[in-house]
């Protein structure tokens, strides 16, 4: 079983929809949680990071972490065709050494249609 | 700032050949890492460094070597290429590893 599970999709939504992307994990030592966006044939780009449980909002993006359920989410409001990409969750431990070692989900491919 | 620069962008190797993938960053980041990305497997950590002179193994280190003689550079060496090393390789760096990494644009490596 992988430490981080993520539905690969593809997920297809109409423009303007609210998108929900999710990851589950099994390692209770994970303390830092990140979401990356990756366009085709490009490197991942950091979207958001959160520490421990709670919510964080940045423009149209909201990240949620529920450590009790080992579940993290990324919500995209008013989705745009430019949001079409693969979204990767990533997480790491709370100590300096373990924080350097990110564990990624396999990514969810999102397609926003006109 | 150029960010994280990886060279080459594409490479084809024959089985048994060796090569070095270059990675350089101009952000004065202490933390640097190498990942490989394969379909259905996501990004997997190969080696990482927490500063010049300090490196450690990640999840899939076999067949790869690294060194970190300067803050800016973190080359990845393939000792004897195998078809299983066909992948896209990403280098990443971070000022503070707790808050995410900046990735390069990747090197697409094919071993035949």
pLDDT digits (tens, 9 = 90+) for A32-56: 999 999 999 999 999 999 988 889 9
Predicted confidence (pLDDT) per residue in B32-63, tens digit: 999 999 988 889 999 999 999 999 999 999 99
Chain B, nearest residue to A7 by Cα:
B40
pLDDT above 80 (res B24): yes
Do the bridges between strand A103-104 and strand A108-113 make them parallel or antiparallel, or are there none, so unpaired?
A: unpaired
Cβ–Cβ gap B31/A104 under 8 Å: no
Q: What would you report as the CA-atom Rg of chain B, rounded to the nearest whole angstrom? A: 13
Predicted confidence (pLDDT) per residue in A1-10, tens digit: 789 999 888 9
Of A34, A97, A105, which is closest to B100 when you measure between CB atoms? A34
The overall longest dimension of chain B from CA atoms, in Å, is: 38
Using alpha carbons, select from B107, B99, B97 the residue that is nearest to residue B24. Answer: B107
């Amino acid at each position: 079983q992988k430490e981080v599970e993520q539905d690969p999709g593809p997920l297809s939504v109409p423009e303007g929809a609210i998108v929900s992307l999710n990851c589950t994990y099994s390692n209770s030592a994970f303390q830092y949680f990140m979401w990356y966006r990756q366009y085709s044939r490009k490197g991942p780009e950091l979207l958001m990071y959160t520490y421990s449980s709670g919510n964080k909002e940045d423009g149209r993006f909201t990240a949620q972490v529920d450590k009790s359920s080992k579940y993290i989410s990324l919500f995209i409001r008013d989705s745009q065709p430019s949001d079409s990409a693969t979204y990767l969750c990533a997480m790491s431990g709370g100590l300096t050494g373990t924080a350097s070692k990110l564990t990624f989900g396999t990514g969810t491919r999102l397609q926003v249609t006109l | 700032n150029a960010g994280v620069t990886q060279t080459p962008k594409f490479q084809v190797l024959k089985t048994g050949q060796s090569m070095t993938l270059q990675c350089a960053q101009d952000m004065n980041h202490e933390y640097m890492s190498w990942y490989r990305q394969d379909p259905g497997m996501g990004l997997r950590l190969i080696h990482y460094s927490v500063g010049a002179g300090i490196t450690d193994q990640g999840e899939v280190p076999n067949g790869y070597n690294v060194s970190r003689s300067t803050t800016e550079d973190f080359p990845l060496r393939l000792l004897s290429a195998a078809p299983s090393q066909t992948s896209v390789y990403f280098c990443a760096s971070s000022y503070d590893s707790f808050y995410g990494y900046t990735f390069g644009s990747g090197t697409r490596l094919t071993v035949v």
